[in-house]
Amino acid sequence: MVKPFWEKKRGGTVTSPKGFFASGVHCGIKRNRKKYDSALIYSPTPCVAAGTFTTNRLKAWPVLYSMRAVREARHHAILCSSGNANCINGSQGREAVDEAVATAAQLLKIEREEILIAQTGLIGVRFPITRFKRGIKRMVRRLSEEEKGGHAAARGLLTTDKRIKEMALSFYIGDQKVTIGAVAKGSGMVHPNMATMLAFITTDCSIAKPMLRRAIRHATDDTFNQIAIDNDMSTNDMVFVLANGLAMNQTIHKVDRDYRLFRDALEEVCRIMAYEMVRDGEGVSHVCTLRVRGAKNPTQAEKAARYIANSMLFKTMLAGADPNWGRIAAAVGASGVQFNPNHLNISFGNVTTVAGGILRASKLPKARKVLRRREYAIDVAIGKGRGRAEFITSDLTTKYVLINSAYS
Amino acid sequence: MVKPFWEKKRGGTVTSPKGFFASGVHCGIKRNRKKYDSALIYSPTPCVAAGTFTTNRLKAWPVLYSMRAVREARHHAILCSSGNANCINGSQGREAVDEAVATAAQLLKIEREEILIAQTGLIGVRFPITRFKRGIKRMVRRLSEEEKGGHAAARGLLTTDKRIKEMALSFYIGDQKVTIGAVAKGSGMVHPNMATMLAFITTDCSIAKPMLRRAIRHATDDTFNQIAIDNDMSTNDMVFVLANGLAMNQTIHKVDRDYRLFRDALEEVCRIMAYEMVRDGEGVSHVCTLRVRGAKNPTQAEKAARYIANSMLFKTMLAGADPNWGRIAAAVGASGVQFNPNHLNISFGNVTTVAGGILRASKLPKARKVLRRREYAIDVAIGKGRGRAEFITSDLTTKYVLINSAYS
């Protein structure tokens, strides 16, 4: 394995890059007082921002707000609440976003358009704006540049997640050390309504806004958009990145070596966060990295991988640790991609169980052993083409069904 | 409700139309001697035939054979085996189909091309052709024009199905009584591999081959293609219809009143069979008729309905009898169809729970009661358009996961 050019920071979070403050509190959106339900990330130095947004036609109020706001030239803050998705709840929801942003802008002494907002939780419920406004006041007072500030923010955006998801890594552009930090919440569904994948990324890299936009699109395409816990897309999914330039590297203006360094590091951050999300998905007992190769082109490879990764028969097979290759073959066929059964190769971990479309029955016990691990890879070759794709997927367990079929 | 023009026949099956013989036996493809694994349907009078075939790119050998054979002008028989899908098992599988068809043709004294063949069961396993050939000999000896012949055939094509699926109905074209009979097996997945939806339909209607083809396509589009147990498509799915003309009605040659009578009756047969399949699906405890209306056009309506019907969050919600409308709204949004949240109406049974995009919370207890029934309808209006679509879907239960995650 190639030694990575970046170094992961122990205890790292969104306050690890220079000049970022953060905080999180419980303000009363969630009933449980021990659970934080609000987060704030703030940079006194103006940042450039970029984001990616859910493609669900039904978009929550904070998504509609932030899609507009992100076009502005400079930003200072990301505001977040959890427990209430602020979605299809009438004009009160839109007003709640406006009030929340106005409150934060006034307290931070910045413009409203310099704030991005994300929310996650129950759909179709009135948003408790008074409580959130009180929470914003407390968060502004508590803003901290230390790791504990980032940790508090990481807690503030969780819903049914079992684990906090945060990290930071550093690398060099020229002689300047550049750091990227992130907090995220998983795409497992909130009980009892649909919830959301959120990721907030901070960096002290100096980079022009168009390049930041390009980098985050590239990074999310191959990471957050390639995970499959269930096949549902949330109304609130968003990824934000803020870059304040305090690393003092030469500003990235074009696609060059510096840009690629930054993009690769950003993609690594997104990949680790995405993997953590799948690992922490509802009722997940196995995490599978599914790699498809040999497709005619990358689009066909992705189509096949997405179909397999979301197939209920494939996901229940993972739950049962059963190397049932017929389900994989049938899923490839059902995906509609060009596919030659005589070129089908399937490996569970490093155990090649199907070669040239023929089962090697003697390998099944070893394959079964691989599938009993908590984490493993499955490789599927579907032809002689050059198209490749990778998905991170999880099993479908009775626990998932129990969590999601409980009464609201 | 309008009184139907057709009458359902008690105990009806594929031998109910005039001139059809059938039989079924255990020949040893399945281990359990009490389970039949072979079926034969035969008409001494030449029939016109039509069929619809799986769109999975990976097609089992019997599918490839029958897609060619069905183009011939006349047919006499449908041959079927269950327990082995005869799919991706190398050239031995193709030879097995040829041998089976040759054996049946010789014994029935007909041409090979006059036989259609279907198989269902495990993928990727050598087909036991010697046993099946012995089975064919016994089936030819046992062919019966009585109902017991049809019942035996209905047993012969089952896999994990808990119930036999067969029926017949009659109606009049002019003064002539026309009968349609059917046997089917469900699309619930075979333990442990993927299995198949099969339906064989017989009729004594006199109809030209192009019109029969047209009618069966129309009927399957709105029935078998609109059911959602899981989102996987089998390698072996087929529907066959044989028409021998013995009802002596004036032959249907064009789209006229007679054609429409026949087509509507055929669609009714397919609808009842499709509903039975969902009801008998693996681990199914609730059957939901999902109706989407108000879409821009029927294609958009179908897209939305298919997305909701296959959503794991929707299906687990049915398992929990939870009128969680946010999941329906989010699924419509995720489907990508044009959709106005302010026009969203959702009814569980006859309880309108969401009107104009607003939840009527007082209706929730009643809605919950509806969802506790074994069978009910959910109506979703997504706008003011004229597009409508209907899907039959089932819940996703822990039992489904247990059945499908068991070791092979």
> What ipTM was assigned to the predicted interfaces of this complex?
0.79
Where is A184: in which H helix or E strand?
A: strand A176-185
Name the pLDDT band for A61 (thresholds 50, 70, 90): very high
Which residue does chain B place closest to A189, by CA atoms? B313
Give pLDDT, residue A1. Answer: 47
- Domain tally for chain B? 2
Decide: B155 and B164 in contact? Cβ < 8 Å. yes
Residues in A touching B332 (Cβ below 8 Å): 57-58
Q: A56 and B334: CB-CB below 8 Å?
A: yes
Name the pLDDT band for B281 (thresholds 50, 70, 90): confident
Decide: A61 and A132 in contact? Cβ < 8 Å. no
Which residue, among B160, B126, B168, has the nearest Cα to B16 in the 3D structure? B168
Residues in A touching B306 (Cβ below 8 Å): none
Above 80 in pLDDT, residue B191?
A: no
Distance CA A71, CA A63 (A): 13
- Residue B25's DSSP bridge partners are B38
Give pLDDT, residue A336. Answer: 87
User: Phi and psi for A140 in degrees, rounded to 5?
Assistant: -65, -40
- Residue B262 gets the label, from left (phi > 0), alpha (psi -120 to 50) or beta, of alpha
**B21/A contact by beta carbon, under 8 A:** no
∠ CA B29-B46-B196, rounded to 5°: 35
Q: Give the mean model confidence (pLDDT) for residues A216-233.
A: 78
**Residue B66 placed within a domain:** yes
Name the pLDDT band for A100 (thresholds 50, 70, 90): very high
Give pLDDT, residue A184. Answer: 95
User: Which residues are CB-neighbours of B148 under 8 A, at least 6 positions away?
Assistant: none
Of all residues in chain B, the percent with pLDDT exceeding 90 is: 71
pLDDT in tens, A279-293: 887 778 899 999 999
Residues in B touching A393 (Cβ below 8 Å): none
Distance CA A261, CA A244 (A): 17
Give pLDDT, residue A199. Answer: 95
My answer on whether B334 and B261 are in the same domain is no
Give pLDDT, residue A24. Answer: 98
Q: Give the mean model confidence (pLDDT) for residues A298-323.
A: 90
Which residue, among B123, B128, B230, B224, has the nearest Cα to A230 in the 3D structure? B230
My answer on whether B272 and B293 are in the same domain is no
**B122/A contact by beta carbon, under 8 A:** yes
Give pLDDT, residue A327. Answer: 86
Give pLDDT, residue A51. Answer: 95
My answer on whether B336 and B193 are in the same domain is no
My answer on whether B299 and B271 are in the same domain is no
pLDDT in tens, A120-143: 988 888 999 999 999 999 999 999
**A328/B contact by beta carbon, under 8 A:** no
User: Which residues are CB-neighbours of B299 under 8 A, at least 6 positions away?
Assistant: B387
Exposure of B6 in the CB half-sphere (CA atoms within 13 A): 22
Q: B407 and A322: CB-CB below 8 Å?
A: yes
My answer on whether A124 and A244 are in the same domain is yes
Q: B339 and A396: CB-CB below 8 Å?
A: no
Which residue does chain B place closest to A58, by CA atoms? B333
**Residue A124 placed within a domain:** yes
Above 90 in pLDDT, residue B200?
A: yes
pLDDT in tens, B298-348: 999 999 998 898 888 888 899 999 898 888 998 898 888 988 888 999 999
Q: A326 and B59: CB-CB below 8 Å?
A: no
Active-site amino acid positions of A: 196
Decide: B370 and B349 in contact? Cβ < 8 Å. yes
Which amino acid, one-letter code, is at A45? Answer: T
The partner residue sitting opposite B334, judged by closest CB among A233, A329, A357, is: A233
Could you tell me which residue, A335 or B377, shows the higher pLDDT? Answer: B377
Residues in A touching B92 (Cβ below 8 Å): none
Q: Where are the alpha helices (DSSP H) in A280-408?
A: 298-310, 312-319, 325-335, 364-372, 398-405
Instruction: Measure Cα distances from A114 to A37, A107, B120 in Å.
Output: 22, 13, 61
Name the pLDDT band for A397 (thresholds 50, 70, 90): confident
User: Which residues are CB-neighbours of B358 under 8 A, at least 6 positions away?
Assistant: A90
Distance CA B384, CA B344 (A): 10
Distance CA A367, CA B378 (A): 43
Decide: B352 and B360 in contact? Cβ < 8 Å. yes
∠ CA B327-B307-A222, rounded to 5°: 90
Distance CA A119, CA B139 (A): 65
Report residue A337 CA to chain centroid gap.
27
Of all residues in chain B, the percent with pLDDT exceeding 70 is: 95
Distance CA B130, CA B136 (A): 10
Q: What is the CATH number of the domain that holds A291?
A: 3.10.20.340
B396 to chain A, closest Cα gap in Å: 7
Distance CA A192, CA B313 (A): 10
**A408/B contact by beta carbon, under 8 A:** yes
Give pLDDT, residue B161. Answer: 82
Distance CA B227, CA A284 (A): 28
Asked if B15 is an active-site residue, the reply is no
Q: Give the mean model confidence (pLDDT) for residues B44-73.
A: 95
Distance CA A13, CA A151 (A): 7
**A124/B contact by beta carbon, under 8 A:** yes
Of all residues in chain A, the percent with pLDDT exceeding 90 is: 71
Above 80 in pLDDT, residue A217?
A: yes
My answer on whether A176 and A314 are in the same domain is no
A345 to chain B, closest Cα gap in Å: 13
Residue B91, classed as helix, strand or coil, is helix
Terminal-residue alpha carbon distance, chain B: 47
Above 60 in pLDDT, residue A193?
A: no
The partner residue sitting opposite B57, judged by closest CB among A57, A235, A333, is: A333
pLDDT in tens, B221-241: 888 877 765 555 688 889 999
**Residue A172 placed within a domain:** yes
The 8-class DSSP code of residue A127 comes to -
My answer on whether A212 and A92 are in the same domain is yes
My answer on whether B262 and B213 are in the same domain is yes
Q: What is the mean pLDDT of chain B?
A: 91
Distance CA B18, CA B158 (A): 24
Above 80 in pLDDT, residue A21?
A: yes
Which residue does chain A place closest to B194, by CA atoms? A327
Q: Which of A53, A55, A57, A325 to mutate to test the interface with B (most CBs of B within 10 A)?
A: A57
The partner residue sitting opposite A404, judged by closest CB among B58, B316, B321, is: B316
Decide: B285 and B386 in contact? Cβ < 8 Å. no
Distance CA B155, CA B82 (A): 10
Q: A357 and B90: CB-CB below 8 Å?
A: yes
Task: Mark which residues 359-398 of B lie under 8 Å from A by CB.
Answer: 359, 368, 395-398
Could you tell me which residue, A186 or A258, shows the higher pLDDT? Answer: A258
**A58/B contact by beta carbon, under 8 A:** yes
Q: What is the CATH number of the domain that holds A92?
A: 3.60.70.12
- Domain extent for A330: 287-405
pLDDT in tens, B135-185: 999 999 999 999 999 999 999 998 878 889 999 999 999 999 999 999 999
| Boundary of a domain, candidates B260, B279, B298 | B279
My answer on whether B390 and B262 are in the same domain is no
Decide: B258 and B252 in contact? Cβ < 8 Å. yes
Decide: B41 and B202 in contact? Cβ < 8 Å. yes
Give pLDDT, residue A234. Answer: 82
Name the pLDDT band for A228 (thresholds 50, 70, 90): low
Q: B56 and A404: CB-CB below 8 Å?
A: no
Distance CA B313, CA A49 (A): 33
Give pLDDT, residue A403. Answer: 76
Residues in A touching B325 (Cβ below 8 Å): 124
**Residue B1 placed within a domain:** no
My answer on whether B109 and B18 are in the same domain is yes
Range of lowest pLDDT (A205-209, B21-25, B221-225, B245-249): B221-225
Distance CA A208, CA A181 (A): 18
Decide: B230 and B186 in contact? Cβ < 8 Å. no
Instruction: Measure Cα distances from A196 to A213, A217, B250, B316, B325 in Å.
Output: 21, 18, 61, 18, 17
Which amino acid, one-letter code, is at B185? Answer: K
| Boundary of a domain, candidates A224, A251, A279 | A279
**Residue B24 placed within a domain:** yes
**A256/B contact by beta carbon, under 8 A:** no
Q: Give the mean model confidence (pLDDT) for residues B268-285.
A: 88
Decide: A277 and A234 in contact? Cβ < 8 Å. no
**Residue B2 placed within a domain:** no
Catalytic residue among B15, B54, B159, B196: B196
The model's pTM: 0.82
Distance CA B120, CA B129 (A): 14
Distance CA B300, CA B293 (A): 10
| Boundary of a domain, candidates B279, B311, B341 | B279
Name the pLDDT band for B189 (thresholds 50, 70, 90): very low
Which residue, among A67, A77, A82, has the nearest Cα to A43 in the 3D structure? A77
Q: B357 and A396: CB-CB below 8 Å?
A: no
B193 to chain A, closest Cα gap in Å: 6
My answer on whether B79 and B207 are in the same domain is yes
Give pLDDT, residue B296. Answer: 95
**Residue B226 placed within a domain:** yes
Which token pair is B182?
Answer: 């059917």
Q: What is the mean pLDDT of chain A?
A: 91
Decide: B216 and B106 in contact? Cβ < 8 Å. no
**A404/B contact by beta carbon, under 8 A:** yes
**Residue A399 placed within a domain:** yes
Other Cβ atoms within 10 Å of A141 Cβ, number: 10
**B288/A contact by beta carbon, under 8 A:** no
My answer on whether B111 and B241 are in the same domain is yes
Give pLDDT, residue A2. Answer: 59
The partner residue sitting opposite B88, judged by closest CB among A87, A321, A357, is: A357
A116 to chain B, closest Cα gap in Å: 23
Decide: B34 and B210 in contact? Cβ < 8 Å. no
Give pLDDT, residue B280. Answer: 84
